[in-house]
Chain A
Amino acid sequence: MIIDTVYMQEDGSFAVNEGTPDRLFVPDNMGNRHRVMIQEWIDEGNTPEPYVEPEPHWIDKRLAKMENGGYGTTGEQFEMIGEQGMEAYQAHIAKVKTDIPKEI
């Protein structure tokens, strides 16, 4: 394996570019011979690129729990209607739509 660049993945595994269009993916397990090679590459002073969390889709943002700025779960919505009434619920929905605009 000839290491060009190494990127961390979400699950802690490594994506390795070898300078070809094909890509190599290596588990974070020192029993794996390629993982040992990556460690040698790191020990030589190289650093893998960190994992970058992708921006969630706007639909997923709107469908998030209330504490995360979304509509909330079905249970959260029923609870809001039951405890605060329909007007408060409609205002909540409108606010979420304003805060998280539809992306086309």
Chain B
Amino acid sequence: MKQYIKKLMVLPLVAILFFGACTDSFEEMNTNPIGISDEDLKADYQFIGVHFPQIQQMIYCNYNWGWGVNWPYQIMQNLNADIFSGYMMTPTPFAGNVNNTTYALIDGWNGSSFDYTYAYMMPAVKAVKDKSETDFPSFYAVSRVLKVLGLSRVAAQYGPIIYSQYGESKTGGEYDKESDLYNNFFTDLDEAVEALDEYVAANPDAKPFAKFDNFFGGDYQQWIKFANSLRLRLAMRIVKVAPALAKAQAEAAIEAGVFEDGDIAAIVANGYTHPVAAVSGSWGDIAMSAEMESMLEGYRDPRINAYFNAVNDKDLSDEGWVYKGIRQGIEIVDKATYGGHSLLNLQPESPAVLMTAAEVYFLRAEGAIRGWDMNGSAKELYTAGVNASFSQNGVSGADTYLSNDVYPRAYVDVKNAANSVPAISEFMNKVSPKWDDAAENEIKLQKIITQKWIAMFPEGNEAWAEYRRTGYPVLFPVVKNDSQGVIDSDNGVRRLNFSVSEKDNNPDGYAKAVQYLGGADNGATRLWWDVEGSNF
């Protein structure tokens, strides 16, 4: 018997030896073969490049992370900045018509720009940094430009954001004070341009980024110009709080070379479709604003055909209305009431425009009236801006347009007269397209910003930021204010509330962010660069 017991004891020992060798394959088993490793994507720099479409598509968000497309854009930007900028208005009475449009800010929508950007854009930015910072400087440089573009748009919505400390802590996240943040933006752009300059000098014909480039087909020269143009935009943003820095950055940008007629930063290709085309065209959830109708019609602006579709409502067309916008912040009973107002003339394949030559000319025009060296007079640059916008939209008649000394048209709400705005109203933007060198700077600025506002359509994020900075163009106040006294109808919404999930998941960071904000975490608190009072 004993010999069997001995044999019995041997068994586990044998087994242990046998197993010891076997568990070596456990690491392989616990590595998902469907996963994509850097090794798999070595060819064509795909292991870095593959993250770029995601980064680019997240900026004017229409990236599909598995939950479908278009709706993220709708809550990240369309139902806030695109409306608060005075560009658009929704005919849909979301949430019983007590929502952003009536200044009852909806956290579930408004945190999404922050949440989704950090969930889906920033991990890709970090992945590119980790893989390219030392070995592939040109890729890293482009990612830095995109990071500034993406996060400067988020910063314009909320104020302080997580930037320099991103990815440093697994359980927290330090926010950057806005004054630091803009400096960090400039540093990133500066170093990116420097790296690209170096790369182009060394490899004049190389286009390693072409496959992944949704903006410029891999042309690094264009990226350099774009980075400089972005620097100019951000410099102008802080002109009221840090005028010296603004001037220095703006002049440096011009010297390094910015967008000129024909240049444009727009997202196309790699499966990207214009989100507003779906939100407006397919869903009928966003339409022309009252201000757009009033200004484009009043100014006899031929771009109206390029921007909007004719009404699809027999009551309106019978009365002879071709275009009709909706005033924001009004009583809406059902979607049918305003559903036939002018929708946006956008197709899924339309490029999503993030920066145009026109905008850059208008920024320079503003710099010129501020006495900065902008390489041109205010009038020249203003005229160049209008011309660039006309040619961008394929319409002619810029000269005639620039001679129009006309004001915006009265706004008539056919469905509800209470929402109409007469031509004499104080809320009419009473400047004309015609330049007047003799006018005072404030009027010149109003003309410049008004034309910039028209030219930048439909990029509501930038338009809303510039409206807050300058107060132009003058917009119609809301009729229905559901903010419970928090947001003043004349001042409008100044920012979006911080993301609720940050309050829960990063309480220390959130507390610091509110402290940096310098006011309550609500829609009435002005951002660092949004200073009340005169523009000069």
The answer to whether A and B belong to the same complex is no
Q: Which residues of B contact A (CB under 8 A)?
A: none
Identify the A interface with B (CB < 8 A).
none
